[in-house]
Amino acid sequence: MMGPGIAQIFALAARRVTLVGRSPQALERARTTLESNLQAMEAAGLVSPGEGHAALEAIALSTDLEGAAEGADLVVESIVEDLGTKQELFARLDRLCRFDALITSNTSGLPITRIAAGMARPERAATTHFWNPPHLVPLVEIVKGERTSDDTVERLRRLLSDVGKRPVVVRKDVPGQLGNRLLHAITREAMHIVQEGIATAEEVDTAVKCGLGLRFPVYGPLEHADLVGLDLVLSIQSYLLEDLCNRTDPMPILRDKAQRGELGAKTGHGFYDWIAKDPDQVKATRDAFLMARLKDLYPPR
């Protein structure tokens, strides 16, 4: 669930937040997630116990969407990735929210232009795509729809910066936004390498984690291109690009695994044997690494 992590971001920045869920049971799970997140951040020294307690106190849990929407300055939707369901919710929020409230979606790929198609005031709608885990990853992509106003984008950029995030503006409402386009380009080539027997899944992931991944937090691909020289990049691309995978359909190795029910950690097998490999430990290692890096890159307030 992305909702608790997103709520936590604003609560830690001293904003009052209402987290809306479909049922008391869902809200109880959200409360547990919030407590676990904040305890881990306290243990890592990212927040003090007092800040964690204040954040919990600042988050109201509710099943009353109408009541929560009426007084909101910002609504961030984080429901199922289904276009029709999101369109219905946005049309309803458009009626419920104040005229100056901003309404955004956490969608990871659906076009905000289509999500907001049924709104009377689509100029106040945008995507705010938080990256998982949202309370630890600084990036938020603000995607401007075809009818999103410049004022909406600027208000969101200022707000997200104020609560400690690192927003980027995606100026065209394209599939995959910005980050997922980069991610899936890498993922396609990673799967191609495994499929062709060039390297194993473990070796591919090691190359990313111990090479690219260590540089990327402070050294982006275009900075790298400029620093090594665009003439060198041009020379390499002139022979390398033709050998990279350029498929426009899902990779055969991915399709085959999905058809066999090898869906990854949730079924026990994917590119890895998740019976032997503990997914919870992988996530815990990820989060510990992220928290350590956050202390280095963005010292606590």
Residues noted as catalytic: 108, 129, 141, 180
The amino acid at residue 280 is D
Note the Cα 242 to chain centre separation in Å: 31
Q: Is 19 helix (H, G, I), strand (E, B) or coil?
A: strand
Q: Which residues pair with 127 in a beta bridge?
A: 105, 143
Asked if 81 and 105 touch (Cβ cutoff 8 Å), the reply is: no
Alpha carbon separation from 44 to 4, 72, 166, 299 (Å, rounded): 19, 32, 21, 12
Helix axes 3-12, 24-43, angle to 10 degrees: 50
Asked if 129 and 107 touch (Cβ cutoff 8 Å), the reply is: yes
The amino acid at residue 150 is D
Alpha carbon separation from 129 to 9, 38, 88 (Å, rounded): 13, 21, 19
Q: Which residues pair with 105 in a beta bridge?
A: 77, 127
Residue located via tokens 């503006």: 169
